[in-house]
Amino acid sequence: MRRELCIDIPFPPPSENAIWVHRRGGGQAYTAAAEEFRRKFQTLMRRELILVTRFVKGHRNYSIYRLTMVLHMTRKSILNEKWLQKWKSDTRATTLERWAQKQAQEPEWKPPKPHKAGDRKALSPYKMMDTGNRRKLVEDCLARALTIDDSLNFAVEMTKVVSSDWEGIRLSYEEEDPRLFGIPEEFLV
């Protein structure tokens, strides 16, 4: 029988780009944002103690897991609203000469990208919010809460979706058959 733990974390994790700070004497430490996420995660997992305990009781030395994370983010967090807007005027011909003059006066000044009437005001409908940058802190927090090392996560999948009702992560942690991942039978005793 496959064991599965499903938990909704009602707050999004910070990006990996914002979870580490370098110490003066060497090494790294979590930032305040990462520590806050860890604290809230641990509090939530303590509230789910019965589910967590039941899941952890089935762990064996040869167990391996599949972690599925669905990152629910608001429209504002994922979608670039300027994609829906278009330029009304053409700046290519009339403005290039003025931009050249301004740059001659202020060498550090960078002109905006010239555009034609009808061009979209954004290059992409999506904001640059990397899904993968939200993974490691969640894995570390889950490993700490379950006392199951994250090296046993043989499959990790992460998806982001636009959600209108809440922001957070829906976690599914399932025990998998090690043979599906090429583990020989003699290691499963």
Per the structure, the count of domains in the chain is: 1
Any domain includes 89: no
What confidence tens digit (pLDDT) does each residue in 144-177 have?
999 999 999 999 999 999 998 889 999 999 999 9
Could you give the 3-state DSSP secondary structure of residue 63? coil
CATH number of the domain that 165 lies in? 3.30.1330.70
CB atoms within 10 A of CB 39: 11
Any domain includes 63: yes
What's the pTM value of the predicted model, to 2 decimals? 0.81
What is the overall mean pLDDT for the chain? Answer: 90
Provide the token pair at 31. Answer: 């930032």
Any domain includes 103: no
Any domain includes 107: no
Any domain includes 102: no
What confidence tens digit (pLDDT) does each residue in 96-123 have?
677 777 778 887 777 667 778 888 988 8
Amino acid at 5: L
Any domain includes 87: no
In this structure, what is the dihedral angle of CA atoms 158, 161, 138, 69, given to the nearest 10 degrees? -50
Any domain includes 66: yes
Could you give the 3-state DSSP secondary structure of residue 166? coil
Is the predicted pLDDT of residue 93 greater than 60, yes or no? no
Is the predicted pLDDT of residue 63 greater than 90, yes or no? yes
* Domain that residue 34 falls in: 4-80+125-187
Any domain includes 159: yes
